[in-house]
């Protein structure tokens, strides 16, 4: 039984997914299984990707959350890693993280630094994207600071949680928010993944006003119960994100959207 399960989810990205899988096969740590979940691709992925995986799952298109959950269900490793199909790993990514996790058994999750490429050109990260470890709940409220491709998660944590299949995007924000609300998270300050952006099929490019989905996650978390300090942080961020969505609704002349998020802010952010 492999110690690590690596899960790549893909939809109509056979070339990207092939390159992602190749970066897994180059890892210096070999104690892993590679699971590729094809979320209903129609680009010939089913002809090329099965041979690159230890387990290949084809499912009717159901979204990235359902694909990640299907990959986890099929996995057997003590540690779970997700790799977005358009990202790549440095060859020692798994070795560095598994060593860290074994030395820090109380940590449910560790994540790493990353390099950014946009249309193949290096892109500097802004100061607001700076990363850290420990109690990062407030940072996770602000934005999705953890790239799924950089995370290594203990199996027992994902046995308790699942990616929310109601979310077409921001499912990672939702997951990290839940974990960071109760646990410290470790950060390894090494650039062990390459994030490739700029292509038109990025989920973030297809969904407008993504703060709508983050607001949904914050409301859900508030309903689940938080201590007073964390609840106040969550309410403050909820009000801020509702204000952003409402501002956009006014610009797009959508008064019903403006009213909806005003009500949400009042009910849950007060």
pTM of the model: 0.93
CA angle 147, 170, 242 (to 5 degrees): 125
pLDDT value of residue 201: 58
> Structural domain boundaries of the chain?
4-204, 211-269
Helix spans in 182-227 (H): 203-206, 211-224
pLDDT value of residue 198: 62
* Alpha carbon separation from 235 to 97, 225, 230, 270 (Å, rounded): 34, 12, 9, 7
Residues recorded for the chain: 270
Backbone angles phi and psi of 198, in degrees to 5? 100, -15
29, 98 contact by CB (below 8 A)? yes
238, 218 contact by CB (below 8 A)? yes
The one-digit pLDDT tens for each residue of the chain (270 residues) are 899 999 999 999 999 999 999 999 999 999 999 999 999 999 999 999 999 999 999 999 999 999 999 999 999 999 999 999 999 999 999 999 999 999 999 999 999 999 988 776 677 667 777 899 999 999 999 999 999 999 999 999 999 999 999 999 999 999 999 999 999 999 999 999 999 876 555 555 555 679 999 999 999 999 999 999 999 999 999 999 999 999 999 999 999 999 999 999 999 998
Q: Do β-strands 4-10 and 87-89 pair in parallel, antiparallel, or remain unpaired? A: unpaired
pLDDT value of residue 117: 81
Q: Which of 248, 265, 238 is nearest to 141 (CA)?
A: 238
Token pair recorded at residue 214:
């983050």
pLDDT value of residue 130: 82
pLDDT value of residue 128: 75
Beta bridge partners of 196: 117
The CATH number of 4-204 is 3.90.550.10
């Amino acid at each position: 039984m492999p110690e690590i399960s690596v899960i790549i989810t893909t939809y109509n990205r056979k070339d990207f997914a092939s390159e992602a899988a190749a970066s897994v096969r180059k890892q210096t740590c070999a104690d892993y299984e590679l699971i590729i979940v094809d979320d209903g691709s129609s680009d010939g992925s089913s002809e090329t990707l099965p041979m690159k995986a230890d387990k290949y799952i084809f499912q009717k298109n159901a979204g990235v959350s359902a694909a990640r959950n299907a990959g986890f269900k099929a996995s057997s490793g003590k540690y779970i890693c997700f790799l977005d199909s358009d990202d790549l790993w440095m060859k020692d990514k798994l070795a560095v993280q598994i060593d860290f996790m074994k030395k820090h058994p109380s940590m449910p999750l560790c994540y790493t630094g990353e390099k950014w490429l946009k249309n193949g050109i290096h892109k500097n990260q802004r100061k607001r994207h700076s990363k850290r470890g420990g109690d990062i709940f407030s940072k996770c409220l602000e934005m999705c600071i953890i790239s799924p491709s950089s995370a290594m998660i203990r199996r027992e944590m994902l046995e308790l949680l699942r990616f929310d299949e109601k979310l077409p995007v921001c499912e990672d924000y939702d997951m990290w928010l839940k974990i960071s609300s109760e646990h410290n998270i470790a950060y390894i300050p090494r650039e062990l993944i390459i994030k490739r952006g700029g292509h038109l099929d990025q989920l973030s490019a297809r969904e407008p006003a993504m703060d709508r989905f983050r607001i949904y996650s914050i409301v859900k978390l508030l309903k689940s119960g938080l201590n007073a300090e964390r609840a106040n942080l969550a309410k403050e961020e909820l009000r801020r994100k509702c204000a952003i969505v409402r501002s956009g609704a006014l610009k797009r002349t959508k008064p019903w959207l403006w009213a909806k998020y005003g009500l949400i802010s009042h009910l849950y952010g007060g």
